C-alpha cells in the first residue's frame, strides 16, 4: 500500500533569496537568512539559494542581481524571496529590479510587507502593519 502524500517528501516551488547587506553584522545576516528559511518552511517553498549584494550600487545591475536573474531563467523556478522591498535597493532601483523579476516571469515574495500593503481595515481595527494576524477571532456563543 502506498503512503499518503502527507507522508512523502514533496518539494515545494523553488525560490531564490535576495539580500542587500551593506555594512551589516554577521549576526544580522544570519537572522535575515533564518527568516527566509522559516518563511519557506511555513509556506512549503524550497529555498534553493540566497544571492547577497554587499556593496551599494547606483545602478539596478550588480553581480548578485545578475546571478539572480540568471537562475530565474531556469525551469521550474517560482520566484524571489526577500525580507522586505528595501532589500532590492533604494526606491528607483527596487522598482526597476521588480520589473526585471516580473519580466523573467517570476514572483517577488516579501517576508515583511510594506505598511502600504496592509489593508486600511487592519489599521482601523488596531492590527499592527507587520502582524501575522490576518483574521480577527470572534468570541463564540456557548
Residue 97 burial (10 A CB sphere; 0-12, 13-18, 19+): buried
What's the CATH code of the domain at 114?
3.40.50.1390
Domain assignment of residue 138, yes or no: no
* Of 48-52, 97-101, 124-128, 137-141, the least confident: 137-141
Domain assignment present for residue 99? The answer is yes
Q: Which residues in 99-136 are b (16+ Cβ under 10 Å) and which e?
A: ebbeebebebbbbeeeeeeeeeeeeeeebeeeeeeeee
| Highest-scoring range by mean pLDDT, 28-32, 116-120, 135-139 | 28-32
Please give the tally of structural domains in the chain.
Answer: 1
For the question of whether the overall pTM of this predicted structure is more than 0.85, the answer is no
Q: How far is CA 32 from CA 11, 47, 121, in A?
A: 22, 13, 29
- Tell me the per-residue pLDDT of 40-82, one tens digit each, with 9 for 90 and over: 999 999 999 999 998 877 777 889 999 999 999 999 999 999 9
Q: Mean pLDDT across the chain, nearest whole number?
A: 79
Q: Flag whether 89 is in a domain.
A: yes
CA torsion sign for 85, 90, 94, 95 is positive
Of 7-16, 58-67, 115-124, 130-139, which range is least confident? 130-139
Whether the Cβ atoms of residue 77 and residue 15 lie closer than 8 Å to each other = yes
Q: Which DSSP category does 55 fall into?
A: S
Range of the domain at 30: 12-124
Domain assignment present for 131: no
Q: Tell me, yes or no, whether 129 lies in a domain.
A: no
Establish if 54 belongs to a structural domain. yes
pLDDT value, residue 8: 60
Q: 78 lies in a domain?
A: yes
Amino acid at each position: 500500500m502506498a503512503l499518503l502524500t502527507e507522508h512523502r517528501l514533496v518539494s515545494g516551488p523553488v525560490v531564490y533569496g535576495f539580500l542587500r547587506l551593506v555594512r551589516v553584522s554577521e549576526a544580522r545576516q544570519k537572522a535575515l537568512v533564518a527568516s527566509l528559511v522559516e518563511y519557506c518552511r511555513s509556506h512549503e517553498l524550497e529555498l534553493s539559494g540566497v544571492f547577497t549584494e554587499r556593496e551599494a550600487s547606483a545602478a539596478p545591475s550588480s553581480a548578485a542581481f545578475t546571478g539572480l536573474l540568471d537562475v530565474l531563467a531556469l525551469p521550474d523556478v517560482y520566484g524571489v524571496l526577500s525580507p522586505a522591498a528595501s532589500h532590492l535597493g533604494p526606491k528607483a532601483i527596487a522598482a526597476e529590479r521588480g520589473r526585471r523579476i516580473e519580466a523573467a516571469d517570476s514572483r517577488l515574495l516579501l517576508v515583511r510587507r510594506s505598511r502600504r500593503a496592509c489593508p486600511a481595515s487592519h489599521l482601523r481595527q488596531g492590527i499592527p502593519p507587520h502582524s501575522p494576524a490576518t483574521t480577527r477571532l470572534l468570541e463564540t456563543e456557548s
